[in-house]
Structure 1
Amino acid sequence: MAFPDPATLRGGLIVSVQAPEGSPMRHPDVIAAMAEASLDNGAVGVRLESPEHIGAVRRRCPEALIIGLWKRTFAGSSVYITPRWEEIRAVWAAGADVIALDATERQRPDGEELADLVQRARSELDAPLMADVDSVDNGLRAAAMGFHWVGTTLYGYTEATQSCRPPGFNLLAPLREKLPETVSLICEGGIASADAAVQALDAGADLVVVGTAITGVDLQVRGYCNALGKRRPT
């Protein structure tokens, strides 16, 4: 699809439709059905993990706005969100409209450099990019490299922010103040209610990504059962 004008997306919800390894929800047809349901009920786009799931949703929802990524782990690096050129190229080929990748300062697998990956993605693929960051500095650095979107996705999930708890509301105002107007600011991570999503917009986000609170069946059911189990008689 043609990438939409950011102004038409502003204030919208993107649903992260993912499922953990080993879950029966992780079937491409299930992911595609959840994505379609999200879009039918007003989501402006979906965020999907793996070329297989991106392709399944693209076939079922050809007009969907898809933010794609591929989680892969490699020895010697803690970067796992679309870490290398191979993953970037596969996500794009599968049908993503925006490629999300870790844009922190951490060392990447195979010695690849973030700036080189951004330049290559733009010159060879002409692909819009979303930076998953953990700090204001990394968000501004990503925008200067040429990322189109900056998201608070990794706040609380990196070594530098492991003592912090998402959502990264405190990143939003300084990022919005310093980011170019052409760069969309996304709040992602830890948004557990509609009220929290509204709070993110009020704090400066252009868009909000919600995952587990909507599509995380495994974690949601486990959380309810754990809470109820504490009240059951032994």
Structure 2
Amino acid sequence: MNPLLQNLEGGLIVSCQALEDEPLYGSAIMGKMAIAAREGGAVGIRANTPADIKAIKQAIDLPVIGLYKKNYQDSEIYITPTIKEVAEVVEAGADIVAFDATDRVRPGGQLLDDFVEEIRIRFPSVLLMADISTTEEGLHAVGLGCDLISTTLAGYTPYTEHITTFDKTLLTVLVEKTGCPIIAEGRVNTPELAAECIREGAFAVVVGSAITRPQEITKQFAKEIGKTSVNN
């Protein structure tokens, strides 16, 4: 196994991301967030945008899974959708490149198989993480030779929007049917669930909002307190 992947096995990867409309937006802040995650025991970081990736790589020495969210008018895919974003993520210093590997039309009508082949030709040494939403997509990504498969998009594609909690079945089926490292990601919102994912065979677990989006964490507390106030 690749030594870098060995460092991730059985551990917690923290997704340090903030969009432009969020209070913690900014590369300097994400760098600090990554330091905090490392001090808390994270074994890796997942980060969005070249700027944030660079800032985090300068701040800590943990492996960084890089992606670049970009919107294109001719496609629903926005997680590292084209080779242009891949190149920028690699140049920023990401150790692993994450991209949308779902069964949807890519920008410019490019097929997923051709996209992965293009990455392999241009960046033969980069490790690839395929973000998928179904078992079939996961198996296809394994067949394409992706190094890691992540359940990131379960519940976030039009054909899986009925899924509103972490998809344990998707995880267990992919672990059973593949020999590929499967990453548990998407609505892993408690320490207990994260630990359960590892017990079920997840190679590692990615947690984002439950750790790095204080506005969302605050909403949960405020909502529960609000219920108590109404009842009283």
Cross-structure match for 1:223: 220
Cross-structure match for 1:210: 207
Counterpart of 1:119, as a letter, is E
Rounded to whole Å, the distance in 2 between the matches of 1:94 and 1:130 is 17
* 2:78 partner SS: coil
Cross-structure match for 2:188: 191
Cross-structure match for 2:14: 15
Cross-structure match for 1:51: 50
Q: 5 Å matches for 1:83-98?
A: 83-98=81-96
Cross-structure match for 2:121: 123
- Give deviations 1:29-66, integer Å, cap 9, x for gaps: 110001011112221100001111001111122x2200
* 2:20 partner SS: coil
The answer as to whether partners of 2:4 and 2:63 remain within 8 angstroms in 1 is no
Structure 2 unaligned blocks of 5 or more? none
For the aligned residue pairs, the C-alpha RMSD in angstroms reads: 1.7
Counterpart of 1:197, as a letter, is A
Return 217-226 or 51-60, whichever deviates more: 217-226
Name the count of aligned residue pairs: 229
Identify the match of residue 200 of structure 1 among 197, 200, 225.
197
Displacement over 4 Å in runs of 4+: 230-233
Cross-structure match for 1:34: 33
Rounded to whole Å, the distance in 2 between the matches of 1:46 and 1:8 is 12
Structure 1 unaligned blocks of 5 or more? none
**Sequence identity, in percent?**
37
Rounded to whole Å, the distance in 1 between the matches of 2:26 and 2:10 is 30
